Amino acid sequence: MKKRILILAVCLTALRLDAREVSILVYPFENTGDPYFNWVSAGMTATAVSDLARVRDISVISEQDRKKALKELESAQSGLFGPEKQLQLAKLLGADLIFTGNYLVINGQIRVNAHIMNVQSAKTENARKFDGTLLKIFELQDQIVIGLLTDSQKITIANLTPVQVTEQFRQQIENKPAVDPRAFELYSRAR
């Protein structure tokens, strides 16, 4: 019995040594409403990338790398759209998971449908709906990042270190200094 436990412990240790960190591609959220609110996508993407970059055992693909790879993919394969393009781009960049979704803004209210896609299986692993206001866009973005990360803890991919959302990370995300949403809009439009 002790010999079996020892062998199992050695095998589990070997598996952990071979494990690598999860690589996440944050694909811009699509505006499904008034084009005036396209600026929300740039800001949400930048915020998610910077928040995820603070998590240990996660590799986040930068917006710059995503755009560079997208240009290469578009020049190689015209006519490819939607999830197929996202998957090909994620594979090209070595991503394991894609965080993406869409949003709609009506009368200052915003609804975000966010989901996680497993690049290896090409399946949506989980989807969530988030509701908020443009005046509280920062709190909404925090909920999205924490929600998607929490959901990604449940996804098992061979040879990957599982994602762990700690209470310290939650506090770092939720306890940011207050920022004027209008300044965020201007920043996002500039991006």
pLDDT tens across 37-74, in order? 999 998 888 888 988 888 877 888 877 777 777 676 56
Cα–Cα distance measured from residue 140 to residue 74, given in angstroms and rounded to the nearest whole number: 32
Tens of pLDDT, residue by residue over 14-44, are 444 456 788 999 988 999 999 999 999 988 8
pTM value?
0.75
Q: pLDDT category, 81, cuts 50, 70, 90?
A: low
Least Cα distance to 145 among 63, 60, 37 occurs for 60
Q: Write down the architecture of domain 22-190 according to CATH.
A: 3-Layer(aba) Sandwich (3.40)
Least Cα distance to 144 among 116, 124, 176, 172 occurs for 116
Q: pLDDT category, 132, cuts 50, 70, 90?
A: very high
Least Cα distance to 54 among 176, 138, 172, 160 occurs for 172
CA distances from 74 to 78, 88, 98 (A): 5, 10, 19
Task: Show Cβ contacts of residue 27 under 8 Å, excluding neighbours closer than 6 positions.
Answer: 45, 66, 86, 89, 90, 98, 99, 100
Could you tell me if 155 and 118 are in contact, meaning their C-beta atoms sit under 8 angstroms apart? yes
Task: Show Cβ contacts of residue 72 under 8 Å, excluding neighbours closer than 6 positions.
Answer: 92
